[in-house]
């Protein structure tokens, strides 16, 4: 995994002289925007993490927010509406979809353990289910349930959905509904984002002007079966044993 880190001053002015015109200051937001655009033009950028350390250093309670996009499986950290981080995530699988909407970080816990999902062991300590669900499982006599570890837990719903360190396979949903984030990224978010930070979960990325339409499942067209035309067979000759009337004159 590569991490692209951009060091930019919080305010940057560029002086340009055109003919006899006076010096003109360039918008301080433009360099950060161009740096992020340059990141997304690199080969395999979707496997990497973008970090603008100068913006991250300026994170405060009232200027930070997070966007999570289900379609591209990416997340954005925005500081003063500028992209400070652009990172891979893993949201919920189709059977455990991550809810969309506007949320806030409600709780933070450095060492959180799930009480719903984890591993199930028998009395001898043998793993019998690596994806156990406490709502449906039956613990064998002498066995035990071990909840999944969710370090740097940042809860966003009352139903138990949050952001945390976890396996991010890249480009596809993989969780039970939570938002998994790679370790270094999650550690940064956990450190700088206070309880109350806004988190938006949608299908696109509003900050990048992407739509929020849920993707239409691609269903392969059903093959058309052509029924063969059955032609009637010619009449079979009469081979019955019924005697035919005589044609001899009486």
In a domain, 94, yes or no: yes
Amino acid 32: pLDDT: 86
In a domain, 77, yes or no: yes
Greatest distance between any 2 Cα atoms in the chain: 136
- Read off the pLDDT of residues 186-201 as tens digits, 9 standing for 90 and up: 999 999 999 999 999 9
In a domain, 217, yes or no: no
154-169: b or e for each residue (b if 16 or more CB lie within 10 Å)? bbbbeeebbbbbbebe
> What is the residue range of 154's domain?
3-13+25-207
In a domain, 246, yes or no: no
Q: In this model, does residue 27 exceed pLDDT 50?
A: no
Determine the straight-line distance between the first and last CA of the chain, rounded to whole angstroms. Answer: 110
Cα Rg for the chain, rounded, in angstroms?
Answer: 32
Q: In this model, does residue 14 exceed pLDDT 80?
A: no
| Maximum average pLDDT range among 11-15, 64-68, 226-230 | 64-68
Amino acid 170: pLDDT: 87
What is the average per-residue pLDDT within 217-229?
44
Of 41 and 14, more confident: 41
In a domain, 167, yes or no: yes
In a domain, 154, yes or no: yes
Amino acid 22: pLDDT: 40
- Read off the pLDDT of residues 74-131 as tens digits, 9 standing for 90 and up: 999 999 999 999 999 999 999 999 999 999 999 999 999 998 899 999 999 999 999 9
In a domain, 233, yes or no: no
Residue 146 CB neighbour total at 10 angstroms: 13
How far apart CA 196 and CA 61 sit, in angstroms, is 8
Per the prediction, the chain carries an average pLDDT of 82
Q: Which long-range contacts (CB under 8 A, 24 or more apart) does 37-40 make?
A: 39/4, 39/6, 39/86, 40/86
Amino acid 11: pLDDT: 41
What is the average per-residue pLDDT within 174-188?
97
Q: How many domains does one find in the chain?
A: 1
Query: Which CATH number characterizes residue 51's domain?
Result: 2.40.440.10
Q: In this model, does residue 29 exceed pLDDT 60?
A: no
């Amino acid at each position: 995994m590569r991490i692209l880190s951009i060091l930019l001053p919080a305010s940057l002015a560029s002086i340009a002289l055109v003919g006899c015109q006076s010096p003109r200051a360039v918008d301080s937001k433009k360099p950060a925007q161009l740096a992020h655009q340059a990141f997304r033009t690199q080969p395999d950028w979707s496997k990497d993490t973008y970090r603008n350390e100068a913006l991250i250093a300026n994170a405060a309670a009232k200027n930070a927010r997070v966007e999570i996009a289900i379609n591209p499986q990416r997340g954005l950290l925005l500081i003063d509406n500028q992209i400070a981080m652009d990172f891979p995530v893993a949201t919920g699988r189709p059977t455990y979809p991550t809810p969309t909407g506007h949320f806030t970080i409600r709780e933070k816990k450095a060492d959180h353990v799930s009480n719903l999902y984890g591993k199930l062991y028998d009395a001898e300590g043998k793993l019998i289910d690596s994806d156990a669900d406490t709502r449906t499982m039956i613990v064998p006599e002498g066995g035990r349930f071990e909840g999944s570890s969710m370090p740097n837990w940042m809860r966003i719903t009352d139903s138990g959905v949050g952001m945390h360190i976890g396996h991010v396979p890249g480009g596809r949903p993989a969780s039970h509904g939570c938002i998994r984030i790679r370790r270094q990224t999650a550690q940064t978010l956990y450190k700088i984002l206070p309880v109350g930070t806004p988190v938006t979960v949608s299908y696109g990325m509003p900050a990048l002007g992407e739509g929020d339409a849920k993707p239409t499942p691609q269903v392969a067209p059903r093959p058309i079966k052509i029924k063969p035309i059955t032609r009637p067979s010619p009449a079979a000759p009469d081979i019955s044993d019924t005697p035919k009337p005589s044609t001899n004159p009486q």
